């Protein structure tokens, strides 16, 4: 008989403890974000998609050499008269399907400010493999453009909405 009342008391006590926890959190502010309309900005150390700035790049290829997955390719400009290489990037490509977002390319970049860095963008969807390869040339946006093999032209992704394109304090 004592065991029965002990079980009833312990069960009732556990129930009251659960209600007390619920009551405490009832009056605290909500931490839920309404995702489609509200978006969280990640911490500064977050490594999202790579962004490239062709105007600051000196075409040293240190980012391509530092990349462990070999997803970066670039070519420097050639002076039309002297046929010598100029320290500016003619084109720069990045295959996001191969990139493991390690940040070694950003660390290897010697320019100030960095010509390649990780953005804070975290929502990407691609409908085919070709959209994973981003290309940059002079005048292209920081997020790059995608080569369309059917149209044989570069185009912007319609679904791309950047969280923040600015480097900040990097």
pLDDT digits (tens, 9 = 90+) for 59-100: 999 999 999 999 999 988 888 888 888 888 888 898 988 999
> Whole-angstrom Cα distance, residue 93 to residue 135?
4
The total of other beta-carbon atoms located within 10 Å of residue 124's CB is: 13
What are the start-end ranges of the H helices in the chain? 2-26, 62-66, 104-108
In the chain, domain spans: 50-155
Fold classification of 50-155 is Alpha-Beta Plaits (3.30.70)
- Amino acid 133: pLDDT: 87
Q: What does the block give as tokens for 168?
A: 């900040």
pLDDT digits (tens, 9 = 90+) for 146-167: 887 788 888 877 665 554 444 4
Is 0.75 topped by the overall pTM?
no
Q: Which residue has the higher pLDDT, 131 or 6?
A: 6
């Amino acid at each position: 008989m004592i065991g029965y009342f002990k079980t009833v008391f312990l069960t009732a006590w556990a129930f009251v403890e659960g209600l007390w926890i619920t009551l405490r959190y009832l009056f605290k502010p909500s931490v839920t974000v309404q995702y489609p309309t509200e978006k969280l900005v990640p911490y500064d150390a977050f490594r999202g998609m790579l962004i490239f700035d062709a105007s600051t790049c000196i075409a040293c290829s240190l980012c391509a050499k530092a990349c462990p997955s070999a997803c970066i390719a670039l070519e420097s400009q050639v002076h039309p008269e002297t046929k010598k290489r100029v320290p500016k990037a003619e084109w720069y490509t990045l295959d996001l399907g191969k990139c493991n977002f390690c940040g070694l390319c950003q660390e290897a970049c010697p320019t100030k400010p960095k010509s390649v860095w990780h953005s804070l963008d975290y929502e990407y969807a691609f409908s085919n493999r070709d959209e994973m390869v981003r290309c940059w040339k002079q005048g292209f946006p920081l997020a790059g453009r995608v080569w369309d093999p059917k149209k044989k032209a570069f185009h912007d992704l319609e679904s791309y909405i950047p969280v923040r394109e600015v480097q900040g304090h990097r």
